Amino acid sequence: MSERVDAKVVVIGAGHGGGNVVAALRTAGHTGEIVLIGDEPIVPYHRPPLSKGYLKGTAAMESLKLRPDSYYASAGIALRLGARAVAIDRTAQTVRLAGGGSERYDLLVLATGSRARRLAIPGAALGGIHYLRSIADADAIRGAIGPGRRLAIVGGGYVGLEAAASALALGSSVVLLERESRILARVACAPLAAFFDDYHRAKGLEIRTEARVEGFEGRDGNVSALWLADGERLLCDAVIVGIGADVCDELAREAGIGCDHGGVIVDENACTSEPGVYAIGDMTWRPMPLYGGRMFRLESVPNALEQARRVAAHIMGKPAPAHEPPWFWSDQYDLKLQIVGVPFDSHRLVIRGDMAERSFAIFHLAPDNRVLAVEAVNRTPEFMAGRTLVGEARIVDPAHLADLSIPIKDLAK
């Protein structure tokens, strides 16, 4: 454990991780200079509403900010917004900014997140083809959807499905194109994906699976149609591409900091291969003690927050916060999905509740009935109990899990 209470800390990336690490440092009593560098022109904000309330127009921009603008000056945190870091010099301990200027550091935190993966197919550069990662992206999409507009969404993951629900609410007609044989193929079990598929269709979303988009065509520079691998042509006025995210790890790679295909390699305290340099959030390839130290890349707000707290504790020489099992949420229509754990070795599924009533939880069990993960729809008590059951690797009786006469909290005591 180090103790660098007065070190100058520079953070690259003013997103969820970066915004939280600077605040956690000040809360913990850090007295040194803190500089937060971000290439967006805005203070750190919540990204999840970009595909939900903000896209629908029910959440205002101010409400997205992690902290108000005035917080940073009052906490003595220097903001360099609209500033892109272009190189790290490990020997001189400086960060070079685009357009000139540099920032010296004693300790550096990389929090550059990930970027929306691009489609590289004919016509992909046409106007009206959108990606969703930032407020600027969401603003552009808001201008492109609405009553009478035909929207095509490429990718049936959480971002695509949430954007579909928001666009339908705004009166667009929406078709969603998924290359795999089902939606949520990489991130949810088959019964949960089937439930969401049915619900979206019932709400008016047209879903095409095994539909590979091969190219776009345009009129006056704007997308007007797309075509599929089977030759079918679909007319559209706008497209949202939601096919995953790629890590923004090039600064670290170019500086010779250890990376893997999953991003910047860090240990449990978010330390990189370079002493005094940390990395947090979407960009990290991190160990999960709960899964025997196996490495993961997690794209979630709780992950960025947990690592931000760990870095602040490490810098301040304080004990690390307890490990949390990974968790995630998604809101679509009146459905609140909450997931805890990673169901990669799941042997058996137990459903508690009623899918038809839109109130159920799917428990993923290992061969010895250890709870590996829980996917809960409109069942927050099961999600909360799941955090304990998964976090403590509890072994449960599957019959008890399915039995609604046994309160779930009794099973997590």
Binding stretches for ligand FAD (CB under 6 A): 12-18, 37-40, 47-48, 50-51, 84-85, 111-113, 132-133, 159, 248, 251, 281-283, 299-302, 304, 328-330
At residue 156, φ and ψ (nearest 5 deg) are -105, 45
For residues 265 and 244, the answer to whether their CB atoms sit within 8 Å is no
- Two structure tokens written together for 99: 């357009």
Instruction: Report in angstroms how near the CB of residue 238 gets to ligand FAD at its nearest.
Output: 16
Instruction: Report in angstroms how near the CB of residue 122 gets to ligand FAD at its nearest.
Output: 26
Which residues does residue 370 pair with via DSSP β-bridges, in sequence order? Answer: 395
Nearby residues of 175 by Cβ (< 8 Å), 6 or more positions away: 150, 151, 152, 153, 205, 206, 207, 208, 234, 236
Cβ-based nearer residue to ligand FAD, 14 or 311:
14
Cβ-based nearer residue to ligand FAD, 115 or 400:
115
Instruction: Report in angstroms how near the CB of residue 345 gets to ligand FAD at its nearest.
Output: 22
Cβ-based nearer residue to ligand FAD, 35 or 350:
35
Helix (H) or strand (E) holding 308: helix 301-316
Instruction: Report in angstroms how near the CB of residue 95 gets to ligand FAD at its nearest.
Output: 9
Instruction: Report in angstroms how near the CB of residue 46 gets to ligand FAD at its nearest.
Output: 7
Instruction: Report in angstroms how near the CB of residue 176 gets to ligand FAD at its nearest.
Output: 15
For residues 4 and 104, the answer to whether their CB atoms sit within 8 Å is no
Nearest to ligand FAD by Cβ — which residue?
A: 15
Cβ-based nearer residue to ligand FAD, 1 or 136:
136
Cβ-based nearer residue to ligand FAD, 245 or 412:
245
Length of the chain: 413
Cβ-based nearer residue to ligand FAD, 111 or 241:
111
**Helix ranges restricted to H, 176-290:** 190-202, 250-254
- Report how far residue 371's alpha carbon sits from residue 393's, in angstroms, rounded to the nearest whole number: 6
For residues 132 and 224, the answer to whether their CB atoms sit within 8 Å is no
- Placement of tokens 């729809």 in the chain: 377
Instruction: Report in angstroms how near the CB of residue 14 gets to ligand FAD at its nearest.
Output: 6
Closest to 19 in 3D by CA, of 1, 36, 6 = 36
Cβ-based nearer residue to ligand FAD, 112 or 172:
112
Put residue 292 in one of left, alpha, beta given phi > 0 → left and psi -120 to 50 → alpha: left
3-state secondary structure of 69: helix
Nearby residues of 293 by Cβ (< 8 Å), 6 or more positions away: 287
Cβ-based nearer residue to ligand FAD, 123 or 391:
391
